[in-house]
Structure 1
Amino acid sequence: MRIPGQRWYTPYLFAAPALVLFGVFFAWPAVTAIQLSFFKYDMISPPPVFVGVDNFVRMLGDGRFWTALLNSVLFLVGMFPLLVVVPLLLAVLVNQKLPGIKTFRMLYYLPVVTSMVAVGIAWEYVFHQQGVLNWMLTGAGLLDEPIQYLLDPAWALPAVILVEGWKNMGFYMMIYLAGLQTIPASIYEAARVDGANAWHRLRSITVPLLLPYIAVAITVEMLDAMQAFTSIYVMTKGGPQDATLTLGYYIWSAAFERYEMGYASAMGLVLWVLMIGLAILNYRITRGRTVIA
């Protein structure tokens, strides 16, 4: 609705700063990356050479690309319980009126606002052969000898997944907590009167009514997992033996270690399409399923 005396362009003036920032820092780089995916460009010897779909054909025969894609999928699957299921249970816990619960919320959220670089370095000491984790497990008799977690291909990816999940769990907990506080308490009271225990209330009330928030959490988790980079860069550099090589790290390596900007842009475009596809799939699966069971 137009306000009397308001000029037609007034709303656009207010939106202009945001639109300029969007164009400069998102739209223009995105268009440039799409263009570069059809070129061979190393940032050193201009101009870029048009190669058509050669970069995409190269991907089909690149074993490291498929390894990175598989690791990204494993990363996504491994992060699901840590960032979708566990935070839901934590949110139910911190939504209770218990002594000190606000302090608990604050402490649990601290890792979210902590630098991933600092978190990764700290966890490197935990996972070290002479670190805290090995000391606890060997002391409890669960290990015969220490494990070099970040140097073992079987343990490196689960270790990084654990760190990413631990750091971001508080963020997803707050998403669910916001949803929980929109559910009327009268619904739970009626369920208690009908004899529903805590499990039935969680399954039949909490989860169905939180489904839109669960959908958001799943979407954000998928996007984060598919482009994981910082924790891998700090802790493993994609090793050992490409065990933690994800698409996010491989794209960065191709662009800024080997200076293959065209090939990196092509992989980035594929990653972008994959993330959009996952988001659409999640939306179609969760759409309209908010009826109480």
Structure 2
Amino acid sequence: MPGQRWYTPYLFALPALALFGVFFVWPALTAIQLSFMEYDVVSPPEFVGLDNFVKMVGDSTFWTATLNSVLFLIGLFPLLVVAPLLLAVLVNQKLPGIRTFRMLYYLPVVTSMVAVAVAWEYVFHQQGVLNWILTGAGLLDQPIQYLLDPFWALPALILVEGWKSMGFYMMIYLAGLQTIDSSLYEAARVDGASAWQRLWRITVPLMIPYIAVAITMEMLDAMQAFTSVYVMTRGGPQDATLTLGYYIWSAGFEHYAMGYASAVGLVLWVVMIAMAMLNYRITKGRS
């Protein structure tokens, strides 16, 4: 336009870019710098080269946290990628009360994770609701201390994380379902396709871009799981729920090994980027 200077759009974007630089770029660069240093908050940072990364390779606790994060990722897959798609198909139907159901199912998403974790602690308590139901139904001989049992603690946290976030992923799928032309389903019904065939042959192929988004977000959420671990188990029992997200926090703020924590965080960051890119390459050709 006449009289418009080339830098005018950048002036409008400047506040957002400034916030992005202060709260993301600068902390990220600082963390990368600290990953090559030994820093305990009190003493000045000391350059140690690759020592933090060498220490990481030989740290059995780091590998335990990595394994738990991978198990977290695998456990969340059916809860945040598969189940929300089926729920989205359900709530996309014109059924009585379906809008109320959508609202109620989305409610955990907007609830604080701390509040959700505290509530679920009572559910998993030895005298909690879950044990009361299972023992009353005769499925258990005696109550289980789920959060104190190394076998049950991690599945319990996966269930909590999945329950809280499932509604969010359902809404992603719902947005995708509403872009599909209903005439495709009508033609399939005329040809005698069953509900399962319509889901597998029409819905899933057309939803590949949305499934790719859900998988990427699920991987990132699983690898960074922290709040539920912090509130419910603190990484225990016996490191059974120690995730990379909690391990980084513990190294930095409990043991004051900021350099080592930054190194682990850098590795996690690289892994998450690699996983997102791999998922993009795999799903790109199918969308």
Q: Same fold (TM over 0.5)?
A: yes
> 1:6 Cα shift?
1.0
Partner of 1:226: 223
Give the match's secondary structure for 1:147. Answer: coil
The amino acid across from 1:40 in the alignment is E
Q: Does 1:127 align with 2:124?
A: yes
Q: 1:191 aligns with which of 188, 193, 196?
A: 188
Q: Does 1:100 align with 2:97?
A: yes
Work out the CA distance in 2 between the residues paired with 1:288 and 1:191: 25
Q: 1:178 aligns with which of 175, 179, 186?
A: 175
The amino acid across from 1:134 in the alignment is N
Q: Deviations over 1:25-68 (max 9, x none)?
A: 000000000000000001112x1000000000000110100000
Pairs within 5 Å for 1:40-119: 40-45=38-43, 47-119=44-116
> 1:4 Cα shift?
2.7
Please, which runs of 5 or more residues in structure 1 have no aligned partner? none
Partner of 2:246: 249
Identity, % of aligned positions: 83
Q: Deviations over 1:64-121 (max 9, x none)?
A: 0000000000000000000000000000000000111000000000000000000000
TM-score normalised per structure 2: 0.99
Q: Deviations over 1:236-288 (max 9, x none)?
A: 00000000000000000001001110000000000001100110110111112
Q: 2:32 aligns with which of 27, 34, 37?
A: 34
Partner of 2:213: 216
Q: 1:15 aligns with which of 7, 13, 16?
A: 13
Q: Deviations over 1:122-162 (max 9, x none)?
A: 00000000000000000000001000000000000000000
Give the match's secondary structure for 1:233. Answer: helix
Q: 1:201 aligns with which of 173, 198, 203?
A: 198
Give the match's secondary structure for 2:9. Answer: helix
Q: Does 1:155 align with 2:129?
A: no
Work out the CA distance in 2 between the residues paired with 1:8 and 1:60: 50
The amino acid across from 2:146 in the alignment is Y
Partner of 2:284: 287
Q: Does 1:266 align with 2:246?
A: no
Work out the CA distance in 1 between the residues paired with 2:42 and 2:92: 55
Instruction: Give RMSD over aligned pairs.
Output: 0.5
Work out the CA distance in 2 between the residues paired with 1:286 and 1:60: 32
Number of residue pairs matched by the alignment? 287
Work out the CA distance in 2 between the residues paired with 1:222 and 1:24: 26
Work out the CA distance in 2 between the residues paired with 1:276 and 1:34: 15
TM-score normalised per structure 1: 0.97
Partner of 1:277: 274
> 1:210 Cα shift?
0.4
Partner of 1:236: 233
Work out the CA distance in 1 between the residues paired with 2:57 and 2:182: 54
Partner of 1:4: 2
Give the match's secondary structure for 2:212. Answer: helix
